Amino acid sequence: MSAGDRYRVSVRQDIRPAPFPARRLKEYARAALSHLPASGADVRIRIVGDAAIARWNRDYLGRGSPTNVLSFPESADAPARGAGVTGDIVVSAPTCLAQTAGWKEPPAARVFFFILHGILHLAGYDHESGGAQARRMRRKELALFRRVLGEEGRERKH
């Protein structure tokens, strides 16, 4: 079974013209998922603008402002370790790019950082309560981000 079969990822870009190569975002997401203890995944990623994510944020979380990323797990129960990662991730491209304006990575990689944040939420990681859980999620997020981008760099050298 290939990574594409085991880790299904779709990308829909509501911004026109589409600002990022969908294939690249899928590759990043699949690579990150392959480093989690998940039996598989079905993740749907939607790239939107600030107005759209502000509506989602208001409708689902009661906050009326734009945010960088929202994640919606398919199940309300926290996933068991090793279970599949399933759900939807909505990302505001303008907010993500503004928040990472000083980064050296290309725009698709910068937006992937927030997609990764959403993937970790779908996998059961949480930072909302602060403390040890927030530190654990942040460490995992940074380690996976570096690992995925490092793998991409190694692939490009060959």
Instruction: Please report, rounded to a whole number, the percentage of residues in the chain having pLDDT higher than 90.
Output: 71
Taking a C-beta distance cutoff of 8 angstroms, is the pair 36, 29 a contact? Answer: no
Confidence label for 129 from pLDDT (cuts 50, 70 and 90) = confident
Average pLDDT rounded to a whole number, residues 24-40: 94
Instruction: Please report, rounded to a whole number, the percentage of residues in the chain having pLDDT higher than 70.
Output: 88
CB-CB neighbours of 14 under 10 Å: 12
pLDDT of residue 76: 66
Average pLDDT rounded to a whole number, residues 26-33: 96
Spatial separation of the C-alpha atoms in residues 36 and 79, rounded to whole Å: 12
CB-CB neighbours of 46 under 10 Å: 17
Question: Residue written as tokens 């909302």?
Answer: 128
Q: What is the pLDDT of residues 57-84, one digit of tens each?
A: 999 999 989 999 999 998 766 555 556 8
All structural domains of the chain, each given as residue ranges with its CATH number in brackets, are 3-157 (3.40.390.30)
